[in-house]
A and B are shown apart, each in its own frame.
Chain A
């Protein structure tokens, strides 16, 4: 399996509900970043969590990182129709510049 894997691959919920997406990775990381991509558009940076951090908040977003399990989760609370997008985790491993992206979770918020 590859460095970044998200699950689920697709998630469909009702507006107002919370959405949780998970990401797993293989190697030691320097940091992990979450991005959003609207269909056919660019990548919007959401949040960066360092390897020595366990949780981080930004508005309705909450990211956790468990380096012992090599996993991260992104929680979007009180979802809105505008949150409909694909969400990617990207890891930066120690000593490297590049980000390694997962396959993404396609989130659909139903009004």
Chain B
């Protein structure tokens, strides 16, 4: 069964450094998402991406964040200058519209980002 994959599984970085989190969505999906989950808290939406552009973003997704689909398979989240409060589990998700209506979002295993 196809699944969303993410690399790395764990990233440790120093405050102020740039990080790129990588995701390979399910191959025939058209919508791509990033969410994050700070330890002990709920999963929060960051951004959705469709047709090579951001379709929706949250207030968390400020100028420090960017997303890109550099080729036909990868979907990346870049944090330009990490802060301590960016430490979280970052989940990539993908989905594709159905003729019948609503569709599921399938999540990857996550990348645990630790900012020191």
Interface residues of A (CB under 8 A from B): 4, 30-31, 33, 35, 40-45, 48, 50, 88, 90, 92, 96-104
Contacts and interface: CB of A to CB of B under 8 A. Distances in A.
Main SS class of interface, A: strand
Contacts, number: 59
A98 B56 contact: yes
Interface in B1-25: none
B109 A41 contact: yes
17 contacts: A4-B42, A30-B102, A33-B104, A42-B108, A43-B107, A44-B107, A45-B106, A45-B107, A48-B103, A88-B42, A96-B56, A97-B33, A97-B50, A98-B33, A98-B58, A99-B43, A104-B42
B42 A101 contact: yes
Contact of B56 (A44, A45, A88, A97): A97
